[in-house]
Structure 1
């Protein structure tokens, strides 16, 4: 048993307690950050996201490790996450630390609100009623847009890499093979900030996506230090 387990196993009954109170639409996960590719060591209601013990970290977990955001706050709460089955979640993460206040793991709550959002929209429609377009006020404020998802609940490291790299490459206006060296360095920097290179295969996947060699990716990373 590694040293992390001593602290992490204390949260197993807490995770079960929370899941029992909130109900079957609440997934509670305990991550051991010492192994990002198999970080899930305990999970309740994992059927919601399709994850299980032995699955890997999410994109948010990797970003937390890379940015050391856990040094500023004891937790982050009520952010949006999405699941691989298309669900919407309201999620929160508690930072588990050892006696020296170093991060050893995370306890994450993911509440599936997909059907709640549909129901809420229906209730609002019934309560507010609909108006013909010619009666609508021209000064009515536009509907507030939903904040973008902060986390993608995916337990397979290979799929997570594809998702993270694709989210960055997908923003490009031109094909990767037409980018300048500096533009490719900037993309490697963004991928590094997201924690892509904390996963095995991150360098090779990034190299393939950018149409460059793996040694070139390592060379770009050296320039970022």
Structure 2
């Protein structure tokens, strides 16, 4: 994407951040051999960083983008139980040149609903349910694995190595923020992938409460 194109999408991103009433992030991403996050705008604590590799949901979209010859929106509700991403494929003369993603946290709405239901003793209706992609063990494992890789990149840690206590706490804290432990089987899967015993995972989570 050239400078003019980036400025155009920057104006749209800044407007969206300005009018948003909930925590959100907007990502502008390049594609092709130099695929990366070009810019990040955020209302609240950002999850993603400029010049980092594309997030897993963008890579998933790009895997099937060659079969599509028109601009299209994609909604991914699988980021965490409280976050979803809406991504637009940016094209010029029918050539894919970038991605524009809006990631929104709607946990505030869930908390409000929980408070209202608790007033009439219906809080049991809000029991945690798996997200759309947690219908199969393979999909759950792949999602958690992708999120772990993003967290390790963010913390500048290598995969498949022994982490000290401080590093484990940092990793688990980030995974907690991303909602990994709200998904069905999240603690067990993260434990296997990080090679941290499950009882230890629960102790670390308890210390973060």
**Under a length normalisation based on structure 2, what TM-score does the superposition of the two structures give?**
0.54
**Counterparts in 2 of 1:162-177, with a 5 A limit?**
none
Q: Could you tell me how far 1:117 is from its partner in structure 2?
A: 2.1
Query: Which position in structure 1 is the counterpart of 2:83?
Result: 89
Distance (Å, rounded) in 1 between the aligned partners of 2:66 and 2:130: 26
CA contact (8 A) 1:42 1:53 kept: yes
Unaligned 5+ residue runs, structure 2? 135-142, 161-174, 176-185, 190-209
Selected match of 2:16 from 9, 15, 18 = 18
Summarize the Cα distance change of 1:129–1:147 in structure 2 as closer, same or farther, 3 Å threshold: same
Number of equivalenced pairs? 149
Cα deviation, 1:157-216, whole Å, max 9, x if unaligned, reads 8879889xxx9xx6xxxxxxxxxxxxxxxxxxxxxxxxxxxxxxxxxxxxxxxxxxxxxx
Q: Is the alpha carbon distance of 1:146 and 1:47 closer, same or farther for their aligned partners in structure 2, counting shifts above 3 Å? A: same
Partner of 1:66: 63
Q: Larger Rg: 1 or 2?
A: 1
CA RMSD of the aligned region, Å?
A: 4.1
Q: Residue 111 of structure 1 is aligned with which of 101, 104, 115?
A: 104
Greater relative CO, 1 or 2 (CA 8 Å, sep 6+)? 1
Q: Check conservation: 1:27, 1:43, Cα contact below 8 A.
A: yes
Q: Relative to 1, partners in 2 of residues 1:6 and 1:118: Cα closer, same or farther, differing over 3 Å?
A: same
TM-score calculated relative to the size of structure 1: 0.51
- Listed as ranges, the gaps of 5+ residues in structure 1 are 132-139, 171-225
Distance 1:130 1:61 in 2: 35
